[in-house]
Amino acid sequence: MQAIGQRYGTTLPDQVDRIAALFDSHLEVIGDVRDLYKDRVALEREYATKLQALAKKAVDKKSKTESSFVVGDDPTKAWDERTLKQSTLNTAYDGIIQSMTNTAEDHVNVAEVLTSQVVDVLKALGRKNEETKKKEMQFFQKLVSDRDRTYAERLKNKAKYDEECGEVDLHRQKQGRAHDDRHAERIARQADQQRNDMLNCKNSYIISIEVSNKIKAKFYNDDLPGLEDQLQLLQSRLVQRFTKIIQHAQALQSNHLDVLKSRLATVERFLAEVNPSKDQDLFSDHNIRSFSAPNDWKFEPCTFFYDTETLNVDPAPKVFLQNKLSKSRSKLQELRPVIDNKKREVEQFAKLEAAYDAERSLGNADEITESYMESRHQLVHFGSSECILNAEIEVISAAVGGLYAVFSLFSDLIQGLDDLGAQRPHSFKSSSFSIPTTCGYCQTSIWGLSKQGKTCKVCGISVHSKSPAVLKTPSPSSFIQPAHEEEVSYPTARVIFDFKATSEFELSVTDGATVSVLEPDDGSGWVKVSDTRGNDGLVPATYLAYGDDSAPTPTPVFFQISRQGTRVRSIWVIYQYEAGGHDEIGLREGEVIELSSGPTGGQHYGDGWWEGFNSTGQKGIFPSNYVEMM
């Protein structure tokens, strides 16, 4: 028992009621704590019930999928329960479920011991001390009653003494008036008797005063302090007993936590033994099947038209093949540095992934893994494009000439060997003819100053603007713009994934943006597009969505194509203009300005303002009424 400091009987005289109220408050606290543990027990039971239901549900679900994640849905080899137990992942799964089942039982057990060793004991403790407190308070009431009875006896004696004093005074008056009366002697005897009675009452009164004082002293000096000290002792014992019970409750919960930790440790051992390689070998052993790659496709001629599987190299088809070959070689030359960069990027991400897996504190390994996988996906797409281009180059080179096949990578050395020099793709530019010139295609005259014809920059041949030589042999490319000057309408598409350019041939786009499709996917997996700022480049074809009803229908975008292959148009400056802001450019009379491209560039910039490049290459806006079209 702990030593008591200040005693209630000394420091708190005549405060039994307050001390009793404090005792009642302690009993109330014990009751509240008992209710707290009672509710805790209810929660433990409820949690155990739900955990048991969860474990049972997990067992049912596992029984349905157990074989699927061990040997697959359609194994080729017989299996049984022993086979399933060979899977380290399945063993760990069983350990997790069994841990939950055991944990539910542990919660039921801790609920039982808390009820029997804490809740019930606290209830008995409170009831016992309540009864003891009642007995002490009954004793206190008896002490007060005895004291008050003594006080009342004193008052009674005082009243009787006062009454007898009055009678003595009355008899004295009678005796004074009866000196000559024959009854004087009798009155004198009565006065003496009355005086004796008064003196007896006086003595009784004085004795009762002394008794009351003694009782009062005993009550306040002995009885009350003793009672208060006894209540203090009972309170101390109550708190100490309560503390020991709660300490025992803590020990029970600590043991419960140790048991739960042992369950977790068991699961951790199972998880540490998970071996993906071993499980994969088990799956492979039960899913071995014979496999042979599909046969190569062969040329299938039309049922009603005889033909062979060789490429036709007649003059007209050969022009098409040579144009396609030139385009494929150009694309391949541009694609190879992109692939090299992407390979280096994949290697770098692979090193980062290994470092982040080894040391988690470096950062978010999942983000690195996602970046690594995205780079690998892009590299695979690039590889597919390279494979397509190499196949086209190989088959066309084999058809159009052996030397071309041998020296296909050295384009500058090939241009003129075999029969390829005469069949190189034309590169036409608009021309005006001040004297009549014979069209190299239709053999009629071309004449006029309004650019009614075109001249090949490679071979010098002149043809009409609408000649099939010009219209039937364009060179569309994912990297090269068609070389004609007519106003065209490009379809639009919506970007469904963010894409970041990794080379100067690509264009960065964001999810939800609308772009103009300049050249569709030609089998390489890439599409050439232009954004709203006039920038163009390649993006993966799978990153675009066409004809999405949920998005607003974009207006077709019109561009002007110059002879250099860029979306520009030249204009004359008819009035001089001084730039009034950092986004404007000054104009000189007679200067030639090239309009910028894009849906918001050139003539589409804004009301009364156009955007373009001056003769020094500076880009800016200017008033549209200061210029005129050439």
3-state helix, strand, coil in the chain (%, to 5): 55, 15, 30
User: Can you tell me the distance from the alpha carbon of 44 to that of 47, in angstroms, rounded to the nearest whole number?
Assistant: 5
Question: Max Cα separation, the chain?
Answer: 194
**Does the structure show a pLDDT above 80 at 68?**
yes
* Packing angle, helices 88-114 and 224-272, rounded to 10: 170
Instruction: Give Cα 259 distance to the centre of its chain.
Output: 33
Give the model's pLDDT for residue 475: 34
Mean pLDDT to the nearest integer, 495-509: 86
Question: Which residue has 């009954």 as its token pair?
Answer: 138
Q: In the 8-state DSSP scheme, what is residue 499?
A: B
CB 558 within 8 A of CB 489: yes
* Rounded to 5°, angle at Cα 53 from 49 and 55: 115
339: Cβ contacts below 8 Å, ≥ 6 apart: 379, 382, 383, 386
pLDDT tens for each residue of 386-396: 999 999 899 88
- The three-point CA angle 13-19-23 to 5° equals 160
Question: Which band of pLDDT confidence, cut at 50, 70 and 90, is reported for residue 362?
Answer: confident
319 and 425 Cβ atoms separated by less than 8 Å: yes
Q: Can you read off the two tokens belonging to residue 34?
A: 């008992």
Are 539 and 507 contacting, i.e. CB atoms less than 8 angstroms apart? yes
**Residues found in the chain:** 630
SS3 call for 583: coil
- DSSP state for residue 581 in the 8-state scheme: S
Q: Please give the pLDDT value at position 491.
A: 85
The pTM of the whole model exceeds 0.85: no
Alpha-carbon distance of 531 to 512, in angstroms, equals: 12
Angstrom CA distances, 213 to 141, 150, 207, 226, 229, stand at: 19, 9, 10, 19, 23
pLDDT band at 59, cuts 50/70/90? very high
Q: Is the pLDDT higher at 36 or at 579?
A: 36
pLDDT value, residue 401:
66
> What percent of the chain stands above pLDDT 70?
81
Distances (CA, A) of 65 to 58, 61, 62, 69, 559: 11, 7, 5, 7, 58
- Count of other CB atoms within 10 angstroms of residue 201: 21
Which of 14-18, 156-160, 169-173 is predicted least confidently? Answer: 169-173
**Cα 327 to Cα 427: distance, rounded to the nearest angstrom:** 13
User: Residue 221 pLDDT > 60, yes or no?
Assistant: yes
Q: How would you write 588-607 as a 3-class SS string? A: CCCCEEEECCCCCCHHHCEC
Name the least confident of 40-44, 114-118, 187-191, 292-296: 187-191
Closest by CA position to 325, among listed 408, 255, 402, 246 = 408
Whether the Cβ atoms of residue 519 and residue 492 lie closer than 8 Å to each other: no
Q: Kindly report, residue by residue over 549-582, the tens digit of the pLDDT.
A: 444 444 444 444 333 334 447 888 888 888 887 7
Cβ atoms 342, 540 nearer than 8 A: no
> Which residues are within 8 A (CB) of 159 and not within 5 positions of it... i.e. 6 or more apart?
none
> Which H or E run contains 493?
strand 492-495
Position 111 confidence tier, pLDDT thresholds 50, 70, 90: very high
**118-121 contacts, C-beta under 8 A, 24 or more apart:** 118/34, 118/37, 118/245, 118/246, 118/248, 118/249, 118/252, 119/34, 119/37, 119/38, 119/41, 121/245
What is the residue type of 199? L
DSSP sequence for 396-465: HHHHH-HHHHHTTT-HHHHTTSTTTSTTSPP-EEEEEEEEEEE-TTT--EEEEEEEEEEEETTT--EEET
* Residue 343, CA distances (Å) to 374, 379, 524 in order: 12, 7, 18
User: Taking the CA of residue 229 as centre, how many other CA atoms within 13 Å lie in the half-sphere pointing to its CB?
Assistant: 15
CA separation for the pair 224, 9 (Å, rounded)? 7
- pLDDT per residue over 522-543, tens digit each? 767 788 888 888 788 888 888 9
CA distance 546 to 507: 18
Which residue blocks in 273-287 are alpha helix, DSSP H?
Answer: 276-285
- Better-predicted residue by pLDDT, 251 or 628: 251
Q: How many CB atoms lie within 10 A of CB 446?
A: 23
Residue 361 has pLDDT above 90, yes or no: no
Kindly report each contact of residues 110-117 with a partner whose C-beta sits within 8 Å and lies 24 or more positions away, as own/partner. Answer: 110/44, 110/252, 110/253, 110/256, 111/41, 111/44, 111/45, 111/48, 113/252, 114/37, 114/40, 114/41, 114/44, 114/249, 114/252, 114/253, 115/38, 115/41, 117/248, 117/249, 117/252
- Tell me the β-bridge partners of 620: 612
CA distance 585 to 572: 14
Q: Mean pLDDT over all residues of the chain?
A: 81
User: What is the spatial distance between Cα 209 and Cα 512, in angstroms, rounded to a whole number?
Assistant: 106
CA dihedral 207, 210, 212, 217 (to 10 degrees): -160
| 464 pLDDT tier (thresholds 50, 70, 90) | low
Reported as a single tens digit per residue, the pLDDT across 121-136 is 999 999 999 999 999 9
Sort strands 492-495 and 445-456 into parallel, antiparallel or unpaired.
unpaired
Band (pLDDT 50/70/90 cuts) for residue 24 is: very high
Q: Which residues pair with 559 in a beta bridge?
A: 488
pLDDT of residue 174: 72
Instruction: List, in sequence order, the alpha helices (H) in 219-310.
Output: 224-272, 276-285
Q: What pLDDT score was predicted for residue 248?
A: 95
pLDDT in tens, 419-429: 443 445 566 66
- Percent pLDDT > 90 in the chain is 34
* R_g of the chain, CA atoms, integer Å: 56
Model pLDDT for residues 318-357, shown as the tens digit of each residue? 888 888 888 888 889 988 898 998 898 889 888 888 888 8
